[in-house]
Chains A and B, each alone.
Chain A
Amino acid sequence: MTPDAQVDYSIVPLLMLLTSLLPAGIIFCLREDQVRWRTTLNMAGAVAKVGFVVALIPPVVSGDKLRVSMPWVPGVDLVLVTDAFSLFFVALSAGLWLVTTIYAIGYLEGAPNRSRFFGFFSLCVTATTGIALAGNLITFLLFFEMLTLVTYPLVAHRGTKDALDGARTYLAYTLGGGVVLLAGVVWLTALVGPVEFTAGGVAAVADLAAERPGEATAIGALLLIGMSVKAAIVPLHGWLPIAMVAPAPVSALLHAVAVVKAGAFGIVRVTHDLFGLSVAGELGLLPVMAGFAGFTIVYGSIRALAQDDLKKRLAYSTVSQLSYVALGAALVSPLATAGALVHIVHQGMMKITLFFCAGLFAEVQGISKISQLAGVGRRMPLTGAAFTVGSLGMIGLPPLAGFVSKWPLALGGLDAGTTWVLPVLIASTLLNAAYFLPVVYALWRPEPDDQEAAVPAVPPRRRLEAPAALLWPPVVTAAMVLLMGVAAGWTYSPWGLAEIIAGGSYR
């Protein structure tokens, strides 16, 4: 989204894709018992991708772009670009992929079908990286659809009836969304030819909007609806709570990074880099989207209140929190845009912490209901602490990451003249407190009131409360939640970068 950047041809974006595509290919061919090979490949890919991101941050922040373009079918190019916004998203997915890989290796130790799992897992990250780096709409669509297909086996991984049902619903929703998106892309391409994302909007699209506003609005609506399925905006959110049947690392990845963020990322791309804020605003797309997002924020929170299943509550919380991004993207205010962008990272980090912890509770203590959580924090202090940090962050308390996204969103909402944003955010804060604090309270409750609900304590076999590979990922991400909040003012913090990127939309 930085317009006057210098563009260099480079193979690097392609290599970034390959860091996860290659391991995927090899892992599919591995035998089930070749654990060491699989782990090495997974970790090497994840570390390599993080390495790429770290190396790319300084040049991209200073304005350089790396671009690779390949003719795919006649007239249609595949374009991969590392602009600031794509790198921002790649950084999130690469970082979280690394911790999730470690977690998944620990989580699935000894489980069947691991080659299949990790193969698709790597493909999933490849697709996410592709979505992030996509420089034009066609490339974006390609990877967007690929993501749908490769996450399906992950959701269905356990092969139980529940898992298959959940996966089926998931696929029906996302394929449906994909069809709508495809229609929008085809329509737009037929009218103006292939479009490359440009900070502040594509000129050809703006011309189209000026000449045929009706068609432009319809195209915009199709694109946004297609994205909204993955971004779980009410009423297209139904798949998300049902997809909770997936194993914990998959839920973590689905909720924090891959699928839902692809939708949110796509919404920002369409509103900011395809139409541009002023055009999207004139076409009336923004107010409608803001309205839906605002409703989703409150609706998701209210539904979350009623869930006793921990993962379901977290799922509805995701529904609610994701719409912060959509809301911020729909507000014409640099602060709100930056808030939306930074929430992509912050929500990812907080939610992945919570899902890691939920997985730990389920694995170590066999607990999946909130009503059974009483006193668990005392048996698993590190996990409990990580969950607490994640929850308080979600509520948006300073100095945690959630506050750093909520504050600019609220201020930006007032800046943009949409005063209803403030009450919605405050209501969301209170509701978040209402559904997270009881969980935290239960975690640290001194003695279980109800002896029947209490789970017998696990005899202390080892010094750590859980296997290290499961325990450290949430601890690290929780520390990041704190760090990203406390050090938000640092130049290279997510907030610092989000401000730079958001600036590009308003030039």
Chain B
Amino acid sequence: MMWWIAAGWPLLLVAVLMASGLLPRDAAERLRDRGSRFGWVAVVPAGILCATAGSETVTVPWMLFGTSVALDAIARPLLAMAVVLYGLALAFIPRSGTERPALLSGLVMVCFVANAGVFAAADLITFYLCFTVMSFAGYGLVVHSGSRPARRAGRIYLVMTVLGEGAVLSAMVLIARAGGLRLGESAAAVAGSPDRDLIIGLLLLGFGVKAGTVPLHVWLPLAHPAAPTPASAVLSGAMIKAGLVGWLRFLPFGESEIGWGTAFMALALLGGFLAVPAGLLQDDPKVVLAYSSISQMGFLAVLIGVALAVPEAAGACTIAAVVYAVHHGLAKGVLFLGVQMWDVERWRRWPVAVLMAVAGLSIIGAPLTGGYVAKYGAKEAVGAAMFPATGGASLAEVLPWVGLGSTLLLARFAVVMWRRDRAPSPTPITRDIAWAIVAVAPVGAVGWLASSHEPLSTTPDWFDPGTWVAQSWPLLVGLVLAVGAARIARGPRWKDSRIAHPHGDIVPPGDVVTLEERLVSRAGVGLRAALHRLEGLATDIRARLTPPVSLVAAVARAQRSFSAWEVSGTVLLVLIAAALGWAAVNGGGA
């Protein structure tokens, strides 16, 4: 029952908002205004569900091929994160600068239900259903503003999504065929399937699009910033995690020692590090954050790679990934919404800046933040695993360097934010307080979550000096580098340098996408030409195939002689009726 309310309530609100078009203009305006101002109530039932429901599987047999949901160790924390993030984002919509807040609220609500479904699905069909709905509803968020960049971002998003969708669907069919319809059995089914490697490849590809794995990440730095700020927050905080959950649910952990584990690792690290220079060259804060998301998702994908390759580490890596995903979702959401806090909300500069700094420090993994717990747990989970991809060093030594990259990216973010003009306006104080709480609270929540999974997960000692040093050197080194770079950039010699003062034009947002776009458009021209040739060929063949005794010509003659339709129709009808009637009278008893 609670499940029905949790999923149905937001959808009901969406239906009401949609139906508002049937009301008189005034009433519709009022309803839409209410709907968007109190949109956050949409997530309340799901929040209650998250806190109270048991972990048993709930099945709805009549829906699709049988739909089922459950709150297991992966679903519950992620759903809780989604509830907080979506609720906060919905609350931020009225002042996000959108002209149609009700439409945006409705879309975000649909995304919420689908996203929650991705986390909570207990069978493959439900998972795929929610994944697809979320992907396509996400398109609405990306193009919402209707501006030219948003539409370009939307096109690229859509193309990538459809391609990813194809890979995911293929994988789903193969997994279902292997007997993995229930998510609890999917990974085992994949492991036992003769098409195991194909399935893993398809999963990597399909979910990699969503998770922003290099080189499938190209849509992300375009789409996340193009959406209105609250939508960016959910895109980058929660929806991006759908790909991760897909991996956690379906990949056969501990089954593929060399092949795919290494491939994952290589791509993950590539993404983790390459996102940094690309992001540093941007001057739109939301683009910088998007690159930070790519880098962070690279970090998460490393955990997946280890889990794939090292059977003993699989359980710990799964929990570490969930903890990390919760931490990153909240912190990234706070940062994105922070852009709006900075731009239009009523608070002064300093409190906003401090709270955003807290969220930033959390992403870097500095002591006394949620990231401190999450990063420590991740490092412990990968243990001393060594891979060719890491160049001989153990993974636990490589991972902090991602933290260094994060520091640099967030320093860049801070710089571009600080330069932004503010236009504070009297906004509801409750919303701002909620934001502040979400900025500070994750440290407790993430800590509690990690410790509740002990001994599978490892939690750091809050005040252990050794851990402090290990966790804060990326921050300190990064800060030193950032300050140094800033000083140099200020110098007269670098005054006109495009590298020292980047404007997102050296490496455009979406980096390689510009090349790919050009390739695709060239391929499109070629394809169109080929299609036209095919059209011509088809017409040609039809023209040449005229048989010696043309049926068409014969019909044409008949057509002329039967031009009085009423007559011919009636004749035909009378004939048929007579035949049927005669038959009925004669043979009724047969």
Residues of A within 8 A of B (CB): 9, 11, 14, 17, 21, 24-25, 28, 69-72, 77-78, 113, 115-116, 119-120, 123, 146, 149-150, 153, 156, 164, 167-169, 171-172, 175-176, 238, 302-303, 305-306, 381, 392, 397-399, 403-404, 407, 410-411, 414-415, 422-423, 426, 429-430, 433-434, 437, 441, 445-447, 485-490, 493
Contacts and interface: CB of A to CB of B under 8 A. Distances in A.
B121 to A, nearest CB: 12
Main secondary structure of the interface of B (DSSP, over half): helix
B188 interface: no
Contacts of A69: 587, 590
A168 B551 CA distance: 9
Contact of A72 (B165, B532, B579): B579
A172 B554 CA distance: 8
A398 B64 contact: yes
B576 interface: yes
Given A70-B590, A487-B62, 7 more contacts: A21-B576, A168-B555, A172-B552, A303-B534, A306-B532, A392-B136, A446-B146
B64 A429 contact: no
A392 B162 CA distance: 12
Interface in B533-590: 534-535, 538, 542, 550-552, 554-556, 559, 565-566, 568-570, 572-573, 576-577, 579-580, 583-584, 586-590
Contacts of B569: 28, 116, 119-120, 123, 150, 153
B584 A399 contact: no
Nearest to A434: B162
A116 B570 CA distance: 9
A398 B158 contact: no
A149 B568 CA distance: 10
Contact of A489 (B63, B163, B169, B583): B63
A489 B61 contact: yes
A70 B555 contact: no
Contact of A14 (B62, B173, B584): B584
Closest 6 CB pairs of A and B: A70-B587, A70-B583, A446-B146, A306-B531, A398-B129, A172-B551
A168 B64 contact: no
A77 B589 CA distance: 12
A175 B555 contact: yes
A381 B21 contact: yes
18 contacts: A28-B573, A70-B587, A123-B569, A123-B572, A149-B572, A153-B565, A303-B534, A306-B535, A381-B21, A397-B165, A398-B125, A414-B173, A414-B174, A422-B170, A423-B170, A429-B166, A433-B162, A485-B64
Contacts of A25: 573, 577
A336 to B, nearest CB: 12
Given A28-B569, A28-B570, A407-B65, A146 B125 contact: no
A71 B531 contact: no
Contacts of A119: 569, 573
B177 A414 contact: yes
A90 B579 CA distance: 22
Nearest to A406: B169
B435 interface: no
B133 interface: yes
A21 B577 contact: yes
Contacts of A9: 589
Interface of B: 21, 60-67, 125, 128-129, 132-133, 136, 146, 151, 155, 158, 162-163, 165-166, 169-170, 173-174, 176-177, 528, 531-532, 534-535, 538, 542, 550-552, 554-556, 559, 565-566, 568-570, 572-573, 576-577, 579-580, 583-584, 586-590
Nearest to A488: B64
A242 B298 CA distance: 53
Contact of A426 (B146, B169, B568): B169
A392 B132 CA distance: 11
B580 A17 contact: yes
Contact of B542 (A168, A238, A414): A238
A489 B61 CA distance: 6
A437 B162 contact: yes
Nearest to A25: B573
Contacts of A171: 555, 559
Given A78-B583, A433-B162, A407 B534 contact: no
Contacts of A441: 155, 158
A486 B62 CA distance: 8
Nearest to A414: B177
Given A70-B587, A123-B573, A306-B534, A411 B162 contact: no
B177 A430 contact: no
Contacts of B528: 306
B260 to A, nearest CB: 21
B64 A399 contact: yes
A116 B566 contact: yes
Contacts of B177: 411, 414-415
Contacts of A120: 569
Contact of B62 (A113, A115, A306, A490): A490
Contact of B162 (A167, A403, A430): A430
A470 to B, nearest CB: 18
Contacts of B21: 381
B552 A169 contact: yes
Nearest to B560: A164
Nearest to A491: B62
A448 to B, nearest CB: 12
Contacts of B67: 489
Contact of B590 (A71, A153, A238, A429): A71
